[in-house]
Amino acid sequence: MINWLLEPLREPIVARSLIELALLGLISGTLGCWIVLAGRAYSAESLAHSMLPGLVGAALLGLPLVLGGAIGLAVGASLIALVGRIKVLGSEVAVSVVITSLVGAGVLLGLAPTTPAGLSGILFGDLLAVGAGDIALAGGFAVIVLAVLFVLHEGLLVAGFDRLNATALGRSPAPLDLALALLLAGATLVAVQALGNLLVVAILVGPAASARLLSARIGPMMLAAVGVAWAASLVGLYASYHAELAAGAAVTCALVVAFLAALLARSLREAVASDSRRRGRGAQSRGLRLRSRRA
């Protein structure tokens, strides 16, 4: 049993992947909670998909994927801003039109005869191929995320839980929204090498969504989200190694299982609480009837 547990960790590629996932879990567990509370999960998905043409273009030109993803993000954000200026369209329609167009362009580039093999790596990532540079990038960005969230913590609390009165309390939501958007864009860029264009949203939103079902307080929610991310990463990597599954997909499936477990735990807790309240009301009613008879 001990050998079964230690065997994957003896492989350098698995050890590097585990370190990368631990750093991504720290980023997603902290930043992801604010994304979920602010209702920006759709924005996370849109940002990830908007990078596809840039990622494929970088692969075609032999450039780093991070550079291609950054260009893709910039182009996507600019197009969304331009289309959003059309008054008859809502912001969600503008985002949908732009993202669909960018995904289509990315697929056309990816399926062109001149495109080198490896489109699946762009779409789904290559977790076992992360190197020292990817780990250093994730570690540096984790420090930035923790520092920015620490500085903005009070303002994010006010805007997150009382957005309507945030301005009156001296906390304008607009700069905080911009800070979250920039951090989200950076996190998407950092995670895309490991999990790809399609799976990156799972690590950014999944742990926080699970934690949101278990806690309403931001501190415990962040701790739970980081714990979920780390546990799912470990389970996914072990499943990938011993069952010969794709590493990124295995981690994503583990995150889905964690969410379902959190949903089940919340449902059971609510059922127990509801039953306790019902019994309490029944006991109170019986007590009132007994006192009325005695009277």
The predicted pLDDT at position 91 comes to 65
Half-sphere exposure of 130 (CA within 13 A, CB side): 30
The single-letter code of the amino acid at 58 is A
Domains of the chain by residue range: 2-294
**What does the chain come to in residues?**
295
CA dihedral 217→218→219→220, nearest 10 degrees, is: 50
**How far is C-alpha 235 from the geometric centre of its chain's CA atoms?**
18
The single-letter code of the amino acid at 51 is M
Q: Which residues of 232-244 are buried (b: 16+ CB within 10 A; e: fewer)?
A: bbbbbbbbbbeee
Other beta carbons within 10 angstroms of residue 41's beta carbon come to: 17
pLDDT digits (tens, 9 = 90+) for 102-150: 888 887 777 666 655 556 667 777 788 888 888 999 999 999 999 999 9
277/257: higher pLDDT: 257
**How far is C-alpha 263 from the geometric centre of its chain's CA atoms?**
17
Q: Which residues of 131-166 are buried (b: 16+ CB within 10 A; e: fewer)?
A: eeebbebbbebbeebeebbeebeebbebbbeeeeeb
Q: Which CATH class is domain 2-294?
A: mainly alpha
Q: What is the mean pLDDT of residues 72-98?
A: 74
**Token digits for 97?**
């039109």
> Which H or E run contains 78?
helix 65-84
27/160: higher pLDDT: 27
CA distances from 198 to 22, 33, 287 (A): 20, 20, 59
The predicted pLDDT at position 257 comes to 94
